[in-house]
Amino acid sequence: MKALIAENISKVYRKGSIGSGSLAKELEFGIKRMFQSKSSQNNKLSDSDFNKSLDQISFEIEEGDRVGIIGKNGAGKSTLLKIISRITTPTQGKIRGFGRVASLLEVGTGFHPELTGLENIFLNGSIIGMKNAEIKANLDSIISFSGVQSYIDTPVKRYSSGMYVRLAFSIAAHLQSEILIVDEVLAVGDLEFQKMCLDKMKEISLSEGKTILFVSHNLNSVSTLCNQSMLLESGKLLQIGNTENVINTYIQRSSVNKPLSERLDKKGNQKIKLLQFKWYSENEKMVVSGKDTHLELTLFSSLSEDISVEFSIAIDHQEGFRISILNNALISKKCIIKKGENSIIIKIATLPLPIGIYPCTFYLASNGEIFEWIKDAFYLEVLGEAFFPNGNSLPQKQGFVYLPFSIQNN
């Protein structure tokens, strides 16, 4: 059964403070227009006067799906959630939702600062559609989950942003809605609470069939919670489907794909810089798990004399944590860089990583002088597996590295 159907959704804003889609802003714009000169009103608008936040987006979401929405800042994620939440209307197209919607989009939305936490539970609950009896029935559970029991009779103007989010999420999670929408607001909470929220969303999705829409820049959280994801880019829906596949696409299209010469986020004095890189496995053009793998770096030095350097290649998982680091100091190997072009070849014996895409950060220095430091300078893409002799691979979500092992049965 469908929970949401979007058909050719577009949202166009006129640049400036108008065209928000909300009643208050439209009234404000109308009053301003009354005082504008006639000649000003007759000025023709060009395409450059408008910004298309969403562009012809269509999708269907099944009931009970947990859908991550990812993309760079400005991709249109929050705009899409506001349209689904009925906060604003699409310029074109239509969206159909089947059931009540609870949304948590901004810290403090629906709270009155002068009221206590307890009073705001009833106020906010009413705003998002909870009946008074429903609030009373869930009151103890809401307060307990929020973790603000000691401050429940304190005006929320004295709450931290994290306490705001705790209470707001707890209320939204207890609403008997069919669709729960959560924006990046969970990022202001502590790690323990973020995990509680992810667990709670997964629980209510599986046990109650509630559909979850979750926007986050934390790919680890998206991967943990969501069985489906969609990737937005410049207002367009680039991909929707299996979360792991969508995350892989996002990483491939991120800054790691830019030529090193075009990267504007480099750190260091660039006296020695990374020109290019190449990954390959033994006897293979592509990288294969379980085979000896090489990384060939090409560096250029503008220094007039030879210099001994320390370099590091940090290999990260796509979900944001560090897997390992390759550093010449760890194996007490000197690396001498001469003036002009230099080549360094690094060998990893029996690559223990499963198929996937792994962002790599590059660092080059000497005696505290940083020459080059580029986060996600390039990526390691493992395309094949030959780790176990019988061709088996790790079950999905059951590990991040291969370990060679043997079994003896006496």
pLDDT tens profile 47-102: 566 778 899 999 999 999 999 999 887 889 989 988 998 888 899 999 988 888 87
Please give the mean pLDDT across all residues of the chain.
Answer: 84
Claim to verify: residue 131 and residue 66 sit in the same structural domain: yes
Claim to verify: residue 125 and residue 79 sit in the same structural domain: yes
Confidence band of 254 (pLDDT split at 50, 70, 90): low
The whole-number pLDDT of residue 297 equals: 94
Q: What is the mean pLDDT of residues 246-258?
A: 72
Does residue 295 fall inside a structural domain? yes
Radius of gyration of the chain (CA): 26
Report how far residue 319's alpha carbon sits from residue 310's, in angstroms, rounded to the nearest whole number. Answer: 27
Does residue 271 fall inside a structural domain? yes
Q: Highest mean pLDDT range out of 59-63, 95-99, 165-169, 396-400? A: 59-63
210, 236, 252: which is the final residue of a domain? 252
pLDDT greater at residue 390 or residue 357: 357
Q: What is the pLDDT of residues 277-295, one digit of tens each?
A: 999 887 777 788 888 999 9
Question: Which amino acid does the sequence have at 4?
Answer: L
The whole-number pLDDT of residue 72 equals: 82
Report how far residue 77's alpha carbon sits from residue 53's, in angstroms, rounded to the nearest whole number. Answer: 9
Q: What is the CATH number of the domain that holds 292?
A: 2.70.50.60
Sign of the CA dihedral 150, 151, 152, 153? positive
Claim to verify: residue 228 and residue 264 sit in the same structural domain: no
Confidence band of 115 (pLDDT split at 50, 70, 90): very high
Confidence band of 129 (pLDDT split at 50, 70, 90): confident
Q: What is the pLDDT of residues 344-360, one digit of tens each?
A: 999 999 999 988 888 89
First-last CA distance in the chain = 54
The whole-number pLDDT of residue 44 equals: 56
Q: What is the mean pLDDT of residues 197-211?
A: 88
pLDDT greater at residue 385 or residue 366: 366
CA angle in degrees (0–180, nearest 5) for 225-315-283: 115
Confidence band of 400 (pLDDT split at 50, 70, 90): confident
Does residue 396 fall inside a structural domain? no
Residue 19 confidence (pLDDT) above 60? no
Report how far residue 95's alpha carbon sits from residue 89's, in angstroms, rounded to the nearest whole number. Answer: 9
Claim to verify: residue 139 and residue 242 sit in the same structural domain: yes
57-71, 158-172, 227-241, 324-338, range with the lowest pLDDT: 158-172
What is the residue-wise DSSP string for 155-221?
BGGGS-HHHHHHHHHHHHHHS--SEEEE-GGGGGS-HHHHHHHHHHHHHHHHHH--EEEEE-S-HHH
**343 is written with which tokens?**
């080549």
Residue 143 confidence (pLDDT) above 90? yes
CA separation, residue 389 to residues 26, 291, 352 (Å)? 67, 12, 14
The whole-number pLDDT of residue 45 equals: 52
Claim to verify: residue 203 and residue 278 sit in the same structural domain: no
Claim to verify: residue 143 and residue 171 sit in the same structural domain: yes
Count up the domains in the chain and report the number: 2
pTM of the model: 0.63
CB contact at 8 A, 221 and 184: no
Strand partners, 172: none
Report how far residue 267's alpha carbon sits from residue 88's, in angstroms, rounded to the nearest whole number. Answer: 41
Provide the residue range defining the domain that includes 49.
2-252
Residue 108 confidence (pLDDT) above 70? no
Claim to verify: residue 29 and residue 173 sit in the same structural domain: yes
Q: What is the CATH number of the domain that holds 219?
A: 3.40.50.300
Does residue 173 fall inside a structural domain? yes
Claim to verify: residue 16 and residue 122 sit in the same structural domain: yes
The whole-number pLDDT of residue 405 equals: 83
The whole-number pLDDT of residue 221 equals: 80
Residue 365 confidence (pLDDT) above 90? yes
Helix (H, G, I), strand (E, B) or coil at 64: coil
Strand order in the sheet with 50-62: 50-62, 2-14, 92-97
131-135, 301-305, 366-370, range with the lowest pLDDT: 131-135
pLDDT greater at residue 386 or residue 26: 386
Report how far residue 23's alpha carbon sits from residue 254's, in angstroms, rounded to the nearest whole number. Answer: 37
Confidence band of 161 (pLDDT split at 50, 70, 90): confident
Residue 34 confidence (pLDDT) above 70? no
Confidence band of 197 (pLDDT split at 50, 70, 90): confident
